[in-house]
């Protein structure tokens, strides 16, 4: 009944397997675009929660891969997930002497064989990278380096990064999700003006608050009943 009729292929594949009797934890479907950046969107909350609790990085890596395979069972994507977890961890616990550019370039070199410092010094427009060198589509071999490029190029201006990402089109939503995480870790700030411009931002805020207080909500409901 939702007004948005689009459902990604991993949703369609998952529920197809579910109605055909597969156990829920084995319903992740393999399709032509399973190795897509959308599979990484729910990884950051796990990393942040577990690492801040003191869970060892290796254990967090294993947990994130297990989580990823519930919906996106793909070895190529799992490898990028490994690097994404490392990126989050390095930004979260970076020393004051370690530059963001250094971290981003290191992760890019190890995960995509891409020297961001060199690339950034040669391009004049973002479309030379995203839309030319790399597709703007969801496929991880394109969307991952595209995301890293935007993070590197606009590392001192989150708002410009998000606007540029939007204007480049393609799978800008999922790239934007990762960029939001990266820039949140870089600056520790949010861009309030973009959030409050959303028509339903008050409803979204309430849903977020409800996620933080599930036990309290249940207790209130039980009391009312």
Output the 3-class SS for 23-70. CHHHCCCCCCCCCEHHHHCCHHHHHHHHHHHCCCHHHHHHHHHHHHHC
24-66 residue pLDDT tens = 999 999 988 899 999 999 999 999 999 999 999 999 999 999 9
From CA 19, how far away is CA 164, in angstroms rounded?
Answer: 40
Helix, strand, or coil (residue 198): coil
Report how far residue 18's alpha carbon sits from residue 28's, in angstroms, rounded to the nearest whole number. 9
Which residues does 71 contact at the CB level (< 8 Å), separation at least 6? 10, 14, 28, 39
pLDDT in tens, 87-118: 999 999 999 899 999 999 999 999 999 999 99
Contact 120, 150 (CB under 8 A): no
Query: DSSP letters of 95-148?
Result: -TTS-HHHHHHHHHHHHHS--HHHHHTT-SSGGGTBTTTB-SSSBHHHHHHHHH
CA distance 26 to 17: 8
**Which pLDDT does position 221 carry in this prediction?**
54
Burial (CB count within 10 angstroms: exposed 0-12, middle 13-18, buried 19+), residue 56:
exposed
Q: Is the model's pTM score more than 0.95?
A: no
Alpha carbons 81 and 99: distance in angstroms, whole number? 22
Model confidence at 225, in pLDDT bands (50, 70, 90)?
low
For the chain, the average pLDDT equals 93
Q: What angle do CA 160, 103, 168 make, to 5 degrees?
A: 30
């Amino acid at each position: 009944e939702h007004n948005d009729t689009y459902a990604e292929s991993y949703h369609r594949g998952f529920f197809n397997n579910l109605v055909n009797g597969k156990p829920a934890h084995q319903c992740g479907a393999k399709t032509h675009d399973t190795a897509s950046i959308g599979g990484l969107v729910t990884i950051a909350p796990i990393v942040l929660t577990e690492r801040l609790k003191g869970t060892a990085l290796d254990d967090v890596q294993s947990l994130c891969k297990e989580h990823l395979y519930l919906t996106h069972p793909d070895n190529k994507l799992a490898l990028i997930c490994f690097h994404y977890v490392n990126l989050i961890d390095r930004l979260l616990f970076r020393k004051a002497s370690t530059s963001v550019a250094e971290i981003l370039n290191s992760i890019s070199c190890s995960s995509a064989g891409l020297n961001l410092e060199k690339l950034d010094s040669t391009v004049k427009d973002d479309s030379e990278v995203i839309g030319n060198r790399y597709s703007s589509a969801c496929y991880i071999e394109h969307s991952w380096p595209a995301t890293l490029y935007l993070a590197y190029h606009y590392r001192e201006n989150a708002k410009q990064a998000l606007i540029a990402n939007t204007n480049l089109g393609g799978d800008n939503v999922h790239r934007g999700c990762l960029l939001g995480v990266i820039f949140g870790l870089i600056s520790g700030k949010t861009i309030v003006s973009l959030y409050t411009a959303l028509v339903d931002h008050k409803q979204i805020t309430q849903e977020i608050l409800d996620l933080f207080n599930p036990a309290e909500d249940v207790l209130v409901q039980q009391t009312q009943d």
